[in-house]
Amino acid sequence: MTETLLSSSTREVVIGFDRPFVVIGERINPTGRKALAAEMAAGNFETVVADALAQVEAGAQMLDVNAGIPLADEPAILAHTVQLVQSITDVPLSIDSSIVEALEAGLAAYGGKPLVNSVTGEDEQMERVLPLVARHGAAVVAITNDETGISEDPDVRFDVARRIVSRAEDHGIRREDVVVDPLVMPIGAMGSAGRQVFRLLRRLRDELHVNTTCGASNVSFGLPNRTGLNAAFLPMAIASGLTSAITSPLHGEMLQAIKAADVLMGNDPHCASWIARNGDGAATGRQGGRRGGRDGRRASAEA
C-alpha cells in the first residue's frame, strides 16, 4: 500500500493505510488567534514554543507550522518559526502557507523532508507550487478545489485530486508524496457532509491509492461540544481511508478515539500501544491524558 515518508533531520514518520494514524498538531497557527498573531508579528515566540512542546508531549507525530499574519513579513516569520520549532523538537513539520514565497522560505530553512501545505487544483498554483515541492524533495497536501471553487459533489472533488496527482507526477513527484485533503465541510451547514467525505475517502484509497489528511475540526464548526463530534468523526473517517489529520492532540477524548481506531483497524500490533496507554501500569498516563484534555480545551478557549 501507499506510504508517505516524512522526516526531520533525526526522525522519520510514515503515513500509510497499514500504519498507525498520524496526528499533525494544528496549534502553531495565528489564524483566529489574535494574541498569537500579535506575538509572532512582534518577534515573541514564547507561545509557539509552548504549543510545540505541549502538542508533541500529548502525542502529535508531526506539527503544522503557519505564519499567516496580515501585513506581516510572512516568509521571514515562517522561516524563523520553522527553524525555532526544529531546534526544540525532532518531529517532522508541515509547512503551511498559501503564499508561494513563504513556502519557499520555509523549505529553505527546513532540515529533512517536510510536508508542504498546500497546493490546489488551480493551474497557476500547481505550476508555481509543484516545481518548488519537487526541487526540495518534499511531499505535498493536495486540496480538492480548483478555479471553480469547492464543489459539493464528492465526485468532482475526486477528479480534482486525480488531476493534481497527475500533474505532480509530470513534475517528478511520486504519487506516494501527494497527500490529498478531501475538504471536510461543516456538518451543521451541510447535513450530508459526513457521508460525502466518507465516500470520497474510500475512492481516494481504493481508486487513486493516495494517503489523505484533513482539518478534522471543520466538521464540527458552529456546533456545541465540538470535541465530542470530532472524536466520533475521526474513527469513521479512518475506517473510510483517512490516514492523517491536522488537529489538536490536546483533547484526550479525541486522541483516545484515534488510538482505539488504530486497534480496530489492525494498525496497533498486539494492541501494544493501547495497552501501554491504558493498562494497569498507565494509570498516571491516563490521568495525565485527562488533564491534558482539559488544559487543551482551556487553551483553545483562551486563544
Q: Tell me the domains of the chain and their CATH numbers.
A: 3-302 (3.20.20.20)
Q: What is the mean pLDDT of residues 102-124?
A: 98
Indicate if the pLDDT at residue 286 is higher than 90.
no
pLDDT in tens, 183-213: 999 999 999 999 999 999 999 999 999 999 9
pLDDT in tens, 77-99: 999 999 999 999 999 999 999 99
Please compute the mean of the pLDDT values over residues 148-170 and round it to a whole number: 97
pLDDT band, very low/low/confident/very high, at 1 (cuts 50, 70, 90): confident
Q: Which three cell numbers stand for residue 276?
A: 501501554
Q: Rounded to a whole number, what is the distance in angstroms from the first to the last CA of the chain?
A: 39
Question: Given pLDDT bands bounded at 50, 70 and 90, which one contains residue 294?
Answer: very low
111: cell is 532540515
pLDDT number for residue 281: 63
**Per-residue pLDDT at 16 exceeds 80:** yes
Confidence of residue 299 (pLDDT cuts 50, 70, 90): very low
Distance CA(190)–CA(186), nearest Å, equals: 6
SS3 category, 181: strand
- Burial zone of 79 (CB within 10 Å; 0-12 exposed, 13-18 middle, 19+ buried): buried
Q: What's the whole-number mean pLDDT along residues 2-7?
A: 98
